Amino acid sequence: MARDARSSAGEVSVGLLVFGVLALLALGASATLLLPVSDPANSARARGEPRNYSPVALEGRQVYFREGCAYCHTQLVRDTLADSYLGPTPSQPGEYLGAVPVLAGAERVGPDLSCVGDRFEKEDDILAFLKNPRDPAFRRAASIMPSYSWLPGTELQALASYLKSLSCRK
């Protein structure tokens, strides 16, 4: 009789454990699916104007993605004091609307590139920087950014065009 009570209690514990695990999985799955759909940042009502890129800049965006530039550079001005010098206003979700993939970046090993097009006079200046980031003219002697001079000329020009298009001036 005592043995039956113990096995019955064990079955209840296992049943509760299985139910708890399934409930947590269902909760996680629903949150994973429902939260992005309900986030206003992912809708057409999101504030901020999406960027429009020329065909050459779009090619440069692909080079930027392929070369992993987003691993070291962000394109996101946060609403913090630390980011106040990066752009005139914090980035808005609508600015990334239709951008697939979104290249907001994850870390700032290098400077934020949200408004990098405003920091250079001409595309040729960006091109020269991409070829030799440690050139004394750029005052970045300690830069750890690699040179991209090995890229074919058309890809390098497209990358420079993409970076020049990242402007915060309206």
Q: Give the alpha-carbon dihedral of 31, 32, 33, 38, to 10 degrees.
A: 60
pLDDT tens, position by position, 81-96: 767 667 677 776 666 6
Is 0.75 surpassed by the pTM of this model? Answer: no
Q: Are 94 and 50 in contact (CB under 8 A)?
A: yes
pLDDT tens, position by position, 104-140: 777 777 788 888 888 888 888 888 888 887 776 766 6
**Joined tokens for residue 136:** 């004394």
